[in-house]
Amino acid sequence: MATEIVLASASPRRAELLESAGIRFVVVPGHIDETPFPNELPAAHVLRLAGEKARDVAGRETGRFFIGADTVVVCDGEIMGKPRDDGDAVRMLRKLSGVAHEVITGFAVLDRGQGTAVSRAVTTRVFFKPLADAEIAAYVETGCPLDKAGAYAIQGGAAYMVERIDGSYTNVVGLPLCEVVGALRTLGAV
């Protein structure tokens, strides 16, 4: 396995997923503006940010392969990133209550040695059960929603809120592992 893989993300969940696949890497978070462009579609948004994160870190760190990723939740056309505060988390969870939404993760794997990249947006459809206000308040009180797209973590305290998913579970966690490992293989990183 190559040891020149850099994960351009501060997400412990993304790191855990890569570790679970036996990938050796180092973590160097990207520092970019994540504000959506006007009229930017969700898949284009996450693909742009994933590429910018990978390029940002590649421009200042050693390594050959750089993995950038970004995840959003989309419900009724609204792109939901991380909530601004507890009130925003409550608003998001109320909107998700009892309805289906999409989780879209864009990833980019940049091969600095060859000057090539593989990128893709992966979509998973998630179905939430109807949530009582007390459930939402208790979950928000844990602090967990504040650093999660759409204000929830399927792998944590919000697992019971999810009735079912159509698509990749790891995508909802924050990194579509099957597709990312496939991109790393395509580029010769693993």
Q: What is the pLDDT of residue 156?
A: 84
Which residue do the tokens 């924050």 mark? 174
Q: Which domain holds residue 16?
A: 5-187
127-160 confidence digits (pLDDT tens): 999 999 999 999 999 999 998 999 999 998 899 9
pTM to 2 decimal places: 0.93
Residue 70 is a catalytic residue? yes
**Of 70, 76, 85, 147, catalytic:** 70
Token pair of 79 as six digits: 């792109």
- SS3 for 47-103 is HHHHHHHHHHHHCCCCCCEEEEEEEEEEECCEEECCCCCHHHHHHHHHHHCCCEEEE
Give CA separation, 11 vs 39, 69, 169, in Å: 27, 10, 16
Q: What is the CATH number of the domain that holds 56?
A: 3.90.950.10
What mean pLDDT comes out for the span 82-95? 97
* Domains identified in the chain, total number: 1
17-27 confidence digits (pLDDT tens): 999 999 999 99
